Structure 1
Amino acid sequence: MKLILAEKPSVAKNIADALKIKTKKDGYFEGNGHIITWAFGHLVELYDAKDYDGKMRSWRMDNFPFIPEEFKYKVKSNPRNRQYPDSGAQKQLKTIHTLMKRNDVTMIISACDYDREGQLIGDSIIYRGGRPKKQVSRLLLNEWTPKEVLQGLENINSNETMKPLRDAGISRQWADWVIGINLTSVATLKYQKGKGKALNIGRVLLPTLKIIYDRDKEIENFKPEDYFKLIATFQTQDEKDYEGTYIEKNREKFKEKETLEAIHQALQNKQGVISDKKVEKKKEFPPFLFNLSNLQGYITNKYKGWTSDKVLKVAQSLYEKKFITYPRTSSIALEESLVGKTANVLKTHAEDLPYKDEIKFMKTKRVFNNAKVESHSAIIPTYLKPKRLSADEQIVYTAIKNRFIMQFMPIAEYEETKLTTKVDGLKGVFSSKGKVQLIEGWKKVEKIQSKDTILPLVHVNDHVSLLDSKVTTHVTKPPKHHTERTLLRVMETCGKSYKEEENEEIMGSILTGFSIGTAATRAETIKKLKDVGYITAQGKNLLSTDLGRRLVETFPVQNLFDLEFTGRLEKALSDIQNGKANKQEFLHMVFSFTNESVETIKNGQDIIINEIASTKNTNEILGTCPECGGKITDGYKAFGCSNWKKGCKFVVWKNDKFLATMRKKPTKTMVKELLKGKRAFVKGLTSKKGSKFNAYLRYEKNPENDYYSWKMEFK
């Protein structure tokens, strides 16, 4: 019997379906020589500082720096009350370990996602009780379709071969814990006045904030300047008009209006002659296949209201439903071994298209290139065609499918014409450009309209008449605020060789691994920057807040804002993953940096970066506790029972996670209704799709423990 551990229940179901296992038990599937169980992402987490040493329960400057001699793990905490373990995680962990010990189980197979985090999730569960006496193997897949699952199970690896990936995952986790716990605590003690959210400090958070801050300052400090152009309108001998822009020494923008005004006057009543004509056919290749950052940039730029975090969640859903390949990838090409499989996928998706006769499968370096693949290939659809998708899923799926099909359509072609018109007596010439689309090719897939600029048919030495000329006034424009699209591109390359107009081919050739965060974590970083109040969104634009600016301008550990420094850390993690660097050396460097940074903050200037106005709890009595008959009062962080010191567990947290998913917070009125009538009518809840709805909410005790959960009714 083989025991397979999946990262999520939905993936376990995909594996069970592939193996045609129908029998589901409490926490696992069983049948056909296999047991398939699952995690819920991370089931264990690192100890909190206070778990190592009781003195760490209170934040005191003398307690830091704090770096454990040995890093320990515990069952994931209950998100509503971190003092207790999550009961669901605890139960599932027990189920997995019971299954591992069964006498009929001969092999344990980790089927968690093939990335740093997935390796860490699987190993932290499998090796929690020590090294199992049974063989531990690894299933490495890029998609969860039945064919891939069955083929993957025929080609499993030893889990020991994944040690570099595990070391990279552990290094990332421990480094972020040490930097986050120490610098967040010390910075909050030093620079924050009043109680409330901590002043978040992180190795990925701060450089990302600095990118946005720097752009904001560029815009603030920008001084607009006037510049001028001279535009002339000419007419050919067969009375066709065209425009030309005056160019002198390769310059068409002039700071001195008088210079152009003088040329404008000198032009009057003059004739021109075509001194040069160049006609070139040019090819337009389709944009590369999507990696996660490019997909997020494309969707957030094209559709209103989308964030990178939302794109990732929707793509993850499509992946778990077997419709697309692994989304958390940084690659823009496919492995060369996937040629045959890709041809079949293309055939499946091309059969119903009106331009299917133009689609031709070819093995090209733009699509199949091992040198451009790191861990996972680019995102493409699988051979399974969805019958029904949500509106959000349809947007993301269509983008991925279209980008895939474009690769096998004809290359688009256009003809570019450049005319040079010379007027006697002038140092410069007039330049005109025309463009005509000859072959639409891949542009048909998304109905991309090409704007043609048609010039009249002329030949070199033809004479033309000057109809009109004018000096036009223009103003230099400031840089644009960052959007999620442009920010993701800078994060992906640490700003190296970055220009907004550069294409994806150039971006793909940047040093591998040299980035801020990974494809999987960048969306979370942007979301966290918003959540902690360091940046804000205005439409598609991202701007630093006053708090974010004060942090950049005051926080003394400047290395954490430096893209080069952060890029080197991420590159080191990438090297550990590829077996080119040592985990212990990396951690020693991070621990030394943390110790030095804590001392820098302690010895730095005393200044307030964030002042939080005190919010006094009213202690207003809202009703009677349904648990023990005590008094429910309005406290600072929660509506809780006056008998909490005696062990009463009834509490409604003001930052309740369940209500937060529907963009709501509990109110005094809601709690009073719950206590009086056992349910409250709540208006203006927000669904996952963003639509508003009303519902009755109950707050009832769980049958299996002492805690309470929300129940929703619609009548």
Structure 2
Amino acid sequence: MKLIITEKPSVAKNIADALKIKNRQDGYFEGNGYYITWAFGHLLQLYDAKDYDGKMTKWKMENFPFIPESFRYKVKSDPRNRDKEDLGAKKQLKIIYGLIKRPDVEAIISACDYDREGQIIGDTIIYQLKTNKQVYRLLLNEWTADEVLRGLQNMKPNTEMRPLQDAGIGRQWADWVIGINLTSVATLKYQKGSGQALNIGRVLLPTLKIIYDRDKEIENFVPEDYFKLAAVFKTKDEKEYEGIYSEDGEDKFKKKEMLEEIEKALANKTATVIDKQVAKKKEYPPYLFNLSNLQGYVTSKYRGWTSDKVLKVAQSLYEKKYITYPRTASVVLEESLVGKVSKVLETLKKGLPYENEIKFMKTKRLFDNAKVESHSAITPTYLIPKSLTKDEEIVYTAIKNRFIMQFMPIAEHEETKITTKVNDPVIKGIFLSKGKVQLVEGWKKVEKIESKDVLLPFVNVNDTVSVIDHKLTSHVTKPPKQHTEKTLLRVMETCGKSRGEEESEEMLTEVLAGYSIGTPATRAETIKKLKDVGYIQMENKNLVCTELGRKLVETFPVKELFDLQFTGRLEKALSDIEKQTFSREKFLHFIFNFTTKAVHTIKEEEDIVIHEVSREKKTNEVLGKCPVCGHGVIEGQKGFGCSNWKSGCKFVIWKNDKFLATMKKKPTKTMVKSLLKNGVAPVKGLTSKKGNKFDAKLKYEKNADNDYFSWKMEFDK
């Protein structure tokens, strides 16, 4: 018998299905020569500092820096009580270890995700037991039955994965040392009051600095006025076109007076077409998605989505076998996938309105081993989903459409540039006109991408035209835009090297070299954590620093941790460990020295309080009497409810009340007080379905036939 260990139960089920194993026991499947068991992500975690030394139970400045001589693992903590073991994890570990020890198990197969984290999830479980049995690695990019069976025929000895394990362990130990030491010391130094910590992290701080820098750019931006001059020309056959005045290649001017002089000179003048250029341009589809690009695409297109949510939904699609591995940095495919991709395309294109335009081609732009880092880009698998949730539908459709676009005709448009010179020696410059016509829609059909055609009349060089109108307009320079999750992910992915919207060769080179802030798997988690610890907040789709986030950047003295290049080099070192061009020992030696110096730097700094944690108990203000039982109604986290709820009273007005939400309102304390006292609340600024504002009186009355309440609306006559 062979024992397969997967990262999650859903993957174990996929492997069992592929091997046609139906027999499920407590914590594992059994049959056809295999036991298949699973973890729930990390079942083991590194010791806490206090597990190594009792004096670390309390945070005291003199106890830091603290770096263990050797790192040890324990059963992961219960998320609700960190001092207790997670009983589910403990039980599953016992099952796994029982299976490893079975005399009929001759080999162990780690089938955890094929990445740094997946490697150490499997390895920490297997090697914690110190088994002598042969360990293999199942390396898959998708969990379809065909791939599982093929993968089991092509396993590698787990010893070959040592570089990936070294990188994973290096990352884990480094983040523990930096996090434990600098979070503790920073909290002791800069925070008053207890109950939470000032989180310091290798990836957290440079990400915060990216947002801080953009906020500062906007704050320090000084708007400048500039002016533009447009003229309208008429051809001999009565067609009109507009041109923008340009002098020495510049069409924005600071001096209005100069343009006013030219504008005066335009009256009743003729002009000559001195140049005309017509060029056909090809537009290639955007590259296939990697995780960062997928997160950027979805979060910018759909309201309420975060990069963390995109990753969770993509992970769900991956575990359901509908897409390939999502935590990838690559936007191209391995050349060995040509045959498989062709079959997937044949399956997906059936029935599409543009099916006859979809043609499989092997191109260097799509298949290129030199540009694949560990995993190929995200693509659909040959399995067509039968039912998806709304969220899964959004992510799956984006991936499927991006895949199909690669095999549609290249879009083409025609660009026309006309240069017109006014026949007056006073006017030194020229007027430029640009037109664009879409010739071939191609891949743009897939997502119905509209191209704006700007049509110019037909003219020849040396044609004479007349000036029939002109307009001088004033403008103001605009500050840079605040970061969204999409733009932040781009800067993190490339360490700030490439700011362009489209994937450039330079950007691909940076990603391949390993220079980045975090990994595809961790970036969403970092952004979420920055929100959770109160360093940044969302304003619509924008990310901005909070007061605490700003103070931390301006006060925390270990400036290397804010430096994108410093963090990029650390991530590059981890990537080099995977490639066996750098050693784990050297990396950790650097991290331990850096942390020791950082702790001393913080200790020597001036004592400043940048964060005060208030421990005041909230008094629950009684807003009025419950209409059901007469007890006080108080505000809770999710609604305004009866304080007698423990005895069964169900009266509540939810903060996310659906009826009020249809009119873009949420209940307020004032509204609730009025409803409880007077039975009616006057509400201003409600929004109708058509978007119009109106005022009304609202009542919240008990239904005659059940215990629930419903809203009623009245209007003043």
Amino acid of the structure 2 residue aligned with 1:472: T
Q: CA RMSD in A?
A: 2.1
Residue in structure 1 matched with residue 592 of structure 2 by the alignment: 591
Residue in structure 1 matched with residue 91 of structure 2 by the alignment: 91
Q: Does structure 1 retain, via aligned residues, the 8 Å contact 2:642–2:652? A: no
Residue in structure 1 matched with residue 230 of structure 2 by the alignment: 231
Within a 5 Å distance, the mapping from 1:295-444 to structure 2 comes to 295-424=294-423, 425=425, 426-444=427-445
Shift of 1:500: 3.9
- SS of residue paired to 1:229: strand
- SS of residue paired to 2:434: strand
Shift of 1:588: 0.4
Shift of 1:529: 0.3
Note closer, same or farther for the CA distance 1:528–1:276 as it changes in structure 2 (3 Å cut): same
Shift of 1:69: 0.4
Matches of 1:2 and 1:667, distance apart in 2: 56
- Report whether the alignment pairs 1:34 with 2:34: yes
Matches of 2:160 and 2:202, distance apart in 1: 29
Matches of 1:149 and 1:181, distance apart in 2: 40
TM-score of the superposition, structure 1-length normalised?
A: 0.87
Shift of 1:194: 1.2
Shift of 1:577: 1.2
Shift of 1:618: 8.8
> Structure 1 unaligned runs (5+)?
620-662, 693-713
Q: Deviations over 1:277-323 (max 9, x none)?
A: 00000000000000000000000000000000000000000000000
Shift of 1:353: 0.6
Amino acid of the structure 2 residue aligned with 1:224: P
Note closer, same or farther for the CA distance 1:162–1:668 as it changes in structure 2 (3 Å cut): farther
Amino acid of the structure 2 residue aligned with 1:570: E
- SS of residue paired to 1:510: helix
Shift of 1:614: 2.4
- SS of residue paired to 2:520: coil
Residue in structure 2 matched with residue 644 of structure 1 by the alignment: none
Matches of 1:618 and 1:471, distance apart in 2: 62
Q: Does structure 1 retain, via aligned residues, the 8 Å contact 2:490–2:499? A: no
Residue in structure 1 matched with residue 240 of structure 2 by the alignment: 241
Matches of 1:470 and 1:164, distance apart in 2: 66
Residue in structure 2 matched with residue 520 of structure 1 by the alignment: 521
Within a 5 Å distance, the mapping from 1:73-152 to structure 2 comes to 73-130=73-130, 132-152=131-151
Residue in structure 2 matched with residue 160 of structure 1 by the alignment: 159
Shift of 1:681: 8.1
Matches of 2:197 and 2:317, distance apart in 1: 35
Residue in structure 2 matched with residue 179 of structure 1 by the alignment: 178
Shift of 1:510: 2.1
Aligned length: 643
- SS of residue paired to 1:212: helix
Matches of 1:296 and 1:613, distance apart in 2: 36
- Report whether the alignment pairs 1:605 with 2:606: yes
Shift of 1:615: 2.1
Matches of 2:534 and 2:53, distance apart in 1: 31
Amino acid of the structure 2 residue aligned with 1:172: R
Matches of 1:499 and 1:291, distance apart in 2: 17
TM-score of the superposition, structure 2-length normalised?
A: 0.87
Matches of 1:564 and 1:151, distance apart in 2: 41
Amino acid of the structure 2 residue aligned with 1:29: F
Q: Does structure 1 retain, via aligned residues, the 8 Å contact 2:638–2:656? A: no
- SS of residue paired to 1:536: strand
Shift of 1:682: 7.6
Note closer, same or farther for the CA distance 1:87–1:667 as it changes in structure 2 (3 Å cut): farther
Residue in structure 2 matched with residue 59 of structure 1 by the alignment: 59
Amino acid of the structure 1 residue aligned with 2:537: T
Matches of 1:279 and 1:33, distance apart in 2: 69
Residue in structure 2 matched with residue 448 of structure 1 by the alignment: 449
Residue in structure 1 matched with residue 17 of structure 2 by the alignment: 17
Shift of 1:388: 0.4
Q: Does structure 1 retain, via aligned residues, the 8 Å contact 2:285–2:406? A: yes
Matches of 1:453 and 1:108, distance apart in 2: 64
Q: Deviations over 1:180-203 (max 9, x none)?
A: 000000000000011221000001
Matches of 2:656 and 2:166, distance apart in 1: 41
Residue in structure 2 matched with residue 554 of structure 1 by the alignment: 555
- SS of residue paired to 1:525: helix
Shift of 1:352: 1.4
> Structure 2 unaligned runs (5+)?
621-635, 663-706, 709-717
Matches of 1:39 and 1:665, distance apart in 2: 34
276-285 or 507-516, which deviates more: 507-516
Q: Does structure 1 retain, via aligned residues, the 8 Å contact 2:209–2:562? A: yes
Matches of 1:665 and 1:388, distance apart in 2: 32
Matches of 2:151 and 2:652, distance apart in 1: 48
Matches of 1:488 and 1:170, distance apart in 2: 25
Shift of 1:578: 1.3
Percent identity of equivalent pairs: 70
Shift of 1:669: 6.9
Q: Does structure 1 retain, via aligned residues, the 8 Å contact 2:289–2:402? A: yes
Matches of 2:656 and 2:639, distance apart in 1: 14
Matches of 1:464 and 1:222, distance apart in 2: 42
Shift of 1:680: 7.7
Q: Does structure 1 retain, via aligned residues, the 8 Å contact 2:639–2:653? A: no
Q: Does structure 2 retain, via aligned residues, the 8 Å contact 1:334–1:367? A: yes
- SS of residue paired to 1:207: helix
Note closer, same or farther for the CA distance 1:681–1:96 as it changes in structure 2 (3 Å cut): farther
Amino acid of the structure 2 residue aligned with 1:251: E
559-568 or 261-270, which deviates more: 261-270
Amino acid of the structure 2 residue aligned with 1:564: Q
Q: Deviations over 1:202-258 (max 9, x none)?
A: 010000000000000000000110001110000000000000001110000000001
Residue in structure 2 matched with residue 632 of structure 1 by the alignment: none
Residue in structure 2 matched with residue 544 of structure 1 by the alignment: 545
Shift of 1:499: 2.3
Residue in structure 2 matched with residue 574 of structure 1 by the alignment: 575
Matches of 2:640 and 2:559, distance apart in 1: 41
Q: Deviations over 1:15-56 (max 9, x none)?
A: 000000000000000001111000000000000001111110
Q: Does structure 2 retain, via aligned residues, the 8 Å contact 1:229–1:471? A: yes
Note closer, same or farther for the CA distance 1:71–1:617 as it changes in structure 2 (3 Å cut): farther
Q: Does structure 2 retain, via aligned residues, the 8 Å contact 1:486–1:500? A: no
- SS of residue paired to 2:281: strand
Q: Does structure 1 retain, via aligned residues, the 8 Å contact 2:415–2:437? A: yes
Q: Does structure 2 retain, via aligned residues, the 8 Å contact 1:323–1:386? A: yes
